[in-house]
Amino acid sequence: MAWQFRSAIAEQVSRVLGLPSERVAKCIQTVPVHRKHESPDFQLFVSSLFEDDHKGSTCNHQKMAQQLAAKLVCDSVISEIGTNRGSVTFKINRNLLTRAILNKIKKDGSNYGLNTEIFSTLRRGRTVVEFSSPNIAKKFHVGHLRSTIIGNFIANLKEAVGNEVIRINYLGDWGLQFGLLGAGFSKFGSEEKLVANPLQHLFEVYVKVNQAAEKDEDVKLSAQAFLRRMEGGDPDALSLWKNFRDLSIQEYAKVYERLAVRFDDYSGESFYKEKSDDVVKQLERTGILQITDNGAAVVDLSEEINPSAFSTVMRSDGTSLYITRDVAAAIDRMERYNFNEMIYVTDKSQINHFQQLFKILKIMGKDQADCCRHVPFGLVRGMKTRRGEVVFLEDVLDEARSRMLQNMAMTRTSKQLEHPSDTAEKIGIAALIVQDFKGQLLSDYKFDWDQALQSTGDTGVFLQYTHARLHRYDEVIYKCLEDYQPRYLVTYLMTLGHLANVAHRTMHVKGSSPEVARARLLFFNNIQMILGNGMRLLGITPVNNM
């Protein structure tokens, strides 16, 4: 939408300066809407129009902006021209702007903001997003919440602008942890408890066998022996492993349903245990594999990353590692999906791991490594329930629903709902997502229940409230696509929500003439549509009553 008006401004500026209008258009920026006072719609920094030798002091830029503004005139599109800190500012004819935007929203519906000219140069194709990826045979840890909701947002975003998206949940379903669990189940496990509460019981077994392994070397040795049996194809060991895996996926599916998250492929490290042997052989053929004194196989990455960078790809006992299986998985996806890009969403502790992964792929001659990207994020601190420090995600979701139900019961304006628990769950999850998405993903943040569940301010509850009662959107989406930071969209939706509430208090539908009432209803319906579209991109399911 903004491009239509940007082009009109660019044509007039290009005539005055004798520059190509396409070049001018790229230098014109939208100005975010201010909540408390009117602001211009567009600005053009004069320094961005010229080469470096024309760039000087701020004072000189301001003078150049004033000289340019004096030569420009208002017309049927531009209603005001001004200057501000080295830029020329433009305000668009309000009737024209309002009519154009409302007609565009009405025409495009749920696709509004996703098919404008700003996306014309976007390369579309097949995107693989790997996210969530919990370790099976363990309850869904709260530490996986961020990977799940951030990965879901990126997948939604890519899909919304026309990419074919493949959502992969790469389960931690192999390795020494299963050696420990397999060895521990025969000692601490119960088939009865496994059937009654699979993940809780497996978690209890895992805790006990870890404690035993710290005190008893024989327990460690039996865990290593069980892993070798798995890697050697022992039917009993693999049968036990498969049962743990199937039960885990069934339990995880319940959590994903609550979060409205879906996957196209549940893969895992186990799929690549044999292919990881091929990786080691390929690395050996390239001549970059080194064998250490203790018999482990390593790749020297000192020239690629830093002088001390080595990546172990095979243990001394011949078993594979996480990095080896990741290399095998990446190569398999390159061949199977022929993707245009692959995005990994994990916490920032794995930054070094992915640097090594991408370098190894490049060394192996896999050019698609350049299309791989890691989106890291920080940790959530202080997430507690009323019972104390929280460990499992289910407890967080239950707590969010419980607190929201309590808040709704205490609010006099709450409506009688057919399914109050379902509504409370959706609002509670919106609160969790918005609290998480408001800042830089790479930053750690301290979680605060009271702040997250407030009905005023920049919260998920406020977004749901605005939707239930009722910068430019496409450019915000484009900005999110550049660095996968959801905070731009959150800020936009919050600003829109606050402005909508101001309008709701002043632009009454009831008591207005039929013509005015229809116009105002259209206005509020369009706001609701945009809020709903944006919330769904974030992974929030909008509610219609609360």
**Closest C-alpha to 442, from 390, 393, 484:** 484
315 residue type, one letter? R
Q: How far is CA 473 from CA 32, 116, 161, 522, in A?
A: 10, 10, 13, 18
Tell the residue number behind the tokens 């830093």, with chain if given: 306
- Rounded Cα distance, 373 and 354, in Å: 8
Token couple for 331: 């190569």
| Catalytic residue IDs | 138, 141, 144
Whether the Cβ atoms of residue 194 and residue 247 lie closer than 8 Å to each other: yes
Maximum C-alpha span of the chain: 88
A 10 A CB-CB count for 232 gives 9
Whether the Cβ atoms of residue 92 and residue 77 lie closer than 8 Å to each other: yes
**Closest C-alpha to 2, from 477, 463, 527:** 477
**Closest C-alpha to 393, from 136, 164, 156, 142:** 142
- Rounded Cα distance, 138 and 205, in Å: 10
Per-residue DSSP letters for 333-377? HHHHH--SEEEEEEEGGGHHHHHHHHHHHHHTT-GGGGGEEEEEE
**Closest C-alpha to 33, from 516, 536, 525, 502:** 502
Cβ burial, residue 315 (10 Å; 0-12/13-18/19+): middle
**Closest C-alpha to 461, from 490, 427, 429, 436:** 427
Per-residue DSSP letters for 202-270? HHHHHHHHHHHHHH-HHHHHHHHHHHHHHHTT-HHHHHHHHHHHHHHHHHHHHHHHHTT---SEEEEGG
